[in-house]
Amino acid sequence: MKKDTFTFTNNKTNESYEFDILEGTRGPSVVDISTFYKKTGMFTYDVGYTSTASCRSDITFIDGEKGELLYRGVAIEELAENHTYLETCYLLLNGNLPTSEELLDFDLELRHRSFIDENLKHLINSFPDRAHPMSILASGVSALSSFYYEHLEDTNEDMRQEMARRIIAKIPTIAAFSYRKSLGIPEIYPDIDRSFTENFLYMMRAYPGGKMKRTKDGSNEIKEIEVKALDAIFTLHADHEQNASTTTVRTVGSTGAHPYVAISAGISALWGRAHGGANESVIAQLEMIGDVKNVDKFIERAKDPNDNFRLMGFGHRVYKNFDPRARALKKLQDQLKDELNLDSKLMEIASKIEEIALKDEYFIKRKLYPNIDFYSGVILTALKIDRPMFTPIFVIGRTVGWVTQLMELQQSSEFKITRPRQLYIGK
């Protein structure tokens, strides 16, 4: 069967060149320009890679126009509402949701792998007090390559799975230790009797000796609704196709670097304000607005072409419709407000902004819908999680996506070092 082709004509020389059109199972077709330079003597120019497919992948699919996100063909709404984060991890790593027995084995393995080497704990403690948890986390993950030195490029699937499960299990512990170091308080070791997400909250909140604060009614401070909410946040952040941090992980991984070094590079990329740090910016802006009565004024500023003020948490590089992750978080936010009797000032301000923006022609015309960052920061604040931990929580959720993408790269027949070219404009 003859392949569909794309013809490129150079009007300067009147020469034409043909390139194959590749079809995926979903989404836009792709023009294979891997031989473009060889045939034409030119490079393509695509700042920010807005029109470039960098790899073949069967992990995650996004339709930005429809507002659709699928992990291994399963809709994100289905996973967030009806499955746990660990089920989602298993799905991404293995291509299918686990049976009850497989989930039990997976859960137990992660619980027992959650402890970190004591020498790594000493490294974390060597950081100055008040260091940002993200800097400690990135360094701690990079240091894991010293404790588990095998490169794993040519090893079997079992070894890759072991590498993946180890990092997924240890990231929450390193994140919690980093947080407590930033506060100058003693770390809390993992409790293998607790689930993945509850254990992270426990390591964040417990007092030395493992004691938990009790609420006025005598119940445990970690409520089921809090675990459910944070678990859903992990799920919604688990993967998002070839974003900046995932591309960083794949780029570093393409050099043959240790997998944990590649993950550490992804953590550093995620820390950027335009990427994983965006939800911190949302909260900072809500605090700056200060009161519901000020919302109209800031909405008008956002619409004023002569004002450089930008409303944080609206719009997305890929989604030109409602971010499906944001829809799921909106439901969670409403549930938290009811079940935890929350009526915080930040929630009031956020709700007012949302109400106005979803009806305002300016935002509708430009397809500026609330994104995941708009809701996640408010929910994490409701869970009494300090702002410096917002991005580390993103890291915990995204680790499974990074490591799955890295494994896919390592097993690809098209594996090669990433090496873009440039348009030189110097002397």
Active site residue ranges: 316, 373
Question: If residue 87 lies in a helix (H) or strand (E), which one and from where to where?
Answer: helix 85-94
DSSP codes joined into one string, 289-310: H-SGGGHHHHHHHHH-TT----
335 CB burial (10 A radius; 0-12, 13-18, 19+): middle
Q: What are the Cα distances from residue 379, in Å, to 48, 90, 347, 401?
A: 31, 25, 9, 22
Element (H, E) at 31: strand 30-31
Helix (H) or strand (E) holding 17: strand 15-22
Q: Which residue has the tokens 């072409």?
A: 305
Enter the tokens of residue 402: 């990074």
Residue 207, phi then psi, degrees to nearest 5:
-90, 160
Query: CA-to-CA distance for 62 and 71, rounded, in angstroms?
Result: 9
**Structural Rg of the chain based on CA atoms:** 23
- How far apart CA 272 and CA 316 sit, in angstroms, is 15
Q: What is the DSSP letter of 364?
A: H
Nearest to 396 by CA among 112, 204, 162: 204
Closest CA to 127 of 181, 86, 74: 181
In angstroms, rounded to a whole number, what is the distance separating the alpha carbons of residues 264 and 177?
A: 16
Sequence-ordered list of residues with C-beta below 8 angstroms from that of 189, at least 6 positions apart, any chain? 115, 203, 210
The rounded distance, in Å, linking the Cα atoms of 362 and 367 is 9
3-state secondary structure of 406: helix
DSSP bridge partners of 30: 22
Tokens 């008008």 correspond to what residue? 300
- Report the alpha-carbon distance of residue 402 to residue 408 in Å, rounded: 10
